Amino acid sequence: MEMATKAVDSTVHLCYKESLIDLAHIRPASKCREEGCAGLVNLKDKSVGSALYFDWVCEKGHNNGTWCSQPVFRRGLHAGDLLTSAAILFSGNNYQKVQLMTKFMKLPIVSQASFLKIQRSYLVPAIEEKWKEHLAHRIQTIKDSSGEVVISGDGRMDSPGHCAQYCTYTAMENSTKEILSVVTVDKRETGKSSVWMEKEGFLRTLQFFLDEHILVKEVITDAHPSITAVLRNEHPSITHSYDIWHAAKNLAKKIMKASQKKQCGLLRQWCSHIVNHFYHISGESSSVEEFTDLWFGVLHHVVDEHEWAVGRGRCSHGPLSGEHIEWMKKGSPAHDALRVIIADRRFLKNIPYFLNARSTADLEGFNSLITMYAGKRFAYRPPVYRARNLLAALDHNEHLNRESMTNKDGNVRMAKTFNKKSNRWSVRELKVQKKYGHIDGLLKKVFCIRAADKVGMSMPVVLQESDPRRISSTIAPVLPPPKDVLIQEHKSRLSK
């Protein structure tokens, strides 16, 4: 434990080998201490991983002392190699890019083979252990309070289309915005079909809360038909809400598409106002009937009718003043196209899912954070992919309540940002920089796991029971033939 603390807390400097050799030569040359040998002792150096060794050897090969630039664990693992490997993974980097950077610097680091062994033997187990400890504390807090939660859930594929290998299904507590569950599903676990991965992730997430004896009052998701069917048929006591951001986005797409039709260009000017009206009535309506009355009121408002005979019978806004958008004409092509959108049967059928005005916007932000740790351009083995997703969850929860940056006068600092889609500028609040306070504890856990290891990293790899590689060694629908056969059959279409 003492060596682990020393290796983590000590400051690491970049030092040139020639400078260390000059330092070593400060000691005057001496004669060999071996009995019967009086040869002069010379300094020899060698690199082992990221460590530098000095050996004082006489002319006859007798070793008169050895110095290493790093602490060394049992079985010759250098603390620098362990720390470098952990830093690469915990910062969301990839070995190949870091290795290329250090190659340009002529800075020796741990080899790729050793990195993979360290990652498998110590880093991934430390992340899993850290997440279990973090999650156990949060689950106990929920049980000690109400014992029930409102969660938002969403699946993130590791690549676009139907070629995804992994799906990460995340559950976030709606009030605190903390990540409570991270489930990774491999394509091989759903019959090598990417289509069913999100549903499988949701089922495992729901089962997690059932196993923990936590009551799920409400679930917020996008309009995924399979998940909707599961909640409606198997869990009718759970309230299901749709993310209104996705609904508003689809609504805007329909309006913008309709605006491209002949004599319907006026719809483009009304698009943002209709979408804003949708957000407004989602938060104001307490029943399907009230929502429907307000929703169909749009058809009257856009033609400058603010009172009518059916339902609620009037707009909720006050007197209009100043400039406004050009009114539509009742029965015009633009007005008829809008009527089709407003009266869409599928949209009206989904009204009960909009009444709580829920959003998964924070969960979408977390999905973006995952790309820092598990980029979509890189391939990972199942345990490593899960570990990288857990790192994102630990990062998110650690920095959830960051303070805002302030100016000298105490006002919150704001930054300008431009939205290409809306073609307008806005401002966002700046937060203080992340401190990553959880990383030191994670690093010490890595060193402690290594210190307690009595086997080492060279043992044969044994896949866990839950590892999808037990199902199939590849995600391809057809098993590969021997490499020799492929080499013989290989022909380039461009060769003459």
For 98-151, write each residue's pLDDT tens digit. 999 999 999 999 999 999 999 999 999 999 999 999 999 999 999 999 889 999
Identify the domain containing residue 261 by its residue range: 245-319+326-353
Same-domain status, 187 and 251: no
Pairing of strands 414-419, 239-242: unpaired
Does residue 174 lie in a domain region?
yes
Q: 336 lies in a domain?
A: yes
Say what the pLDDT of residue 25 is: 73
Between 24 and 417, where is the model more confident? 417
Same domain for 384 and 292:
no
166, 160 Cβ separation under 8 angstroms = no
Say what the pLDDT of residue 492 is. Answer: 75
Taking only the tens place, the pLDDT of each residue in 486-495 is 888 887 777 6
Burial of 415 (0-12, 13-18, 19+ CB in 10 A): exposed
Cβ neighbours for 227, distance < 8 A, ≥ 6 positions apart: 198, 199, 202, 221
> 312 lies in a domain?
yes
* Number of domains into which the chain is organized: 3
In a domain, 479, yes or no: no
**What pLDDT, in 10s, does the model give residues 459-471?**
888 888 889 989 9
483 located within any domain: no
d(CA 202, CA 221): 10
> Is 491 inside any structural domain?
no
> pTM of the entire structure?
0.89
> CA-to-CA distance for 61 and 70, rounded, in angstroms?
24
- Among 55, 71, 87, the domain-final residue is 71
| Residue 317 clears pLDDT 70, i.e. is over it | yes
pLDDT above 70: residue 421: no
Residues 258 and 344 in one domain: yes
Higher pLDDT: 322 or 225? It is 225
One domain, residues 238 and 373: yes
What was the pLDDT predicted at 28? 62
Q: How would residue 322 be classed by pLDDT, with cut points 50, 70 and 90? A: low
pLDDT in tens, 55-84: 989 988 899 888 998 888 878 889 999 999
Are residue 386 and residue 371 in the same domain, yes or no?
A: yes
Percentage of the chain modeled with pLDDT above 90 = 59
Which among 128, 149, 131 is positioned nearest to 209, based on CA atoms? Answer: 149
Domain final residue pick, 17, 36, 71: 71
Check whether residue 382 and residue 346 sit in a common domain.
Answer: no
Last-in-domain residue among 23, 40, 71: 71
Q: Inform me whether the pLDDT recorded for 363 exceeds 90.
A: yes
Query: What average pLDDT does range 271-283 have in this prediction?
Result: 92
What are the tokens at 438? 């959880």
Alpha helices, DSSP H, located in 237-344:
244-258, 266-284, 288-301, 333-342
Element (H, E) at 146: none
Q: Are residues 224 and 234 in the same domain?
A: yes
CA distance 469 to 154: 25
Rg of the chain taking only CA atoms, in angstroms? 31
Q: Is residue 382 part of a domain?
A: yes
The bridge status of strand 215-221 relative to strand 148-157 is parallel
- Both tokens of 153, joined, read 């859930």
Give the angle 160-166-172 at the CA atoms, nearest 5°.
95
Average pLDDT taken over every residue of the chain = 90
Q: Predicted confidence band at 216 (pLDDT cuts at 50, 70, 90)?
A: very high
385, 363: one domain:
yes
Residue 341 CB neighbours (<10 A): 17
Sign of CA dihedral 228, 233, 234, 236: positive
218, 259: one domain: no
The verdict on residue 481 lying in a domain is: no
Judged against a pLDDT cut of 90, whether residue 389 lies above it is answered with yes
Under 8 Å CB-to-CB from 424, ≥6 apart: which residues? 418
Average pLDDT of the residues in 260-278? 92
H/E/C letters for each residue in 371-436? HHHCCCCCCCCHHHHHHHHHHHHHHHHHCCCCCECECCCCCECEEEEEECCCCEEEEEECECCCCC
Q: What is the pLDDT of residues 3-32, one digit of tens each?
A: 666 667 777 778 888 888 888 876 666 788
For the segment 150-195, what is each residue's pLDDT rounded down to a tens digit? 999 999 998 876 688 999 999 999 999 999 999 999 999 999 988 9
346 lies in the same domain as 367? no
- Spatial separation of the C-alpha atoms in residues 383 and 378, rounded to whole Å: 14
pLDDT over 70 percentage in the chain: 96
Tokens linked to 172: 């976030």
Residue 214 and residue 66 in one domain: no
Range of weakest confidence among 223-232, 235-244, 416-425: 416-425
Same domain, residue pair 272 and 220: no
Average pLDDT of the residues in 38-50: 88
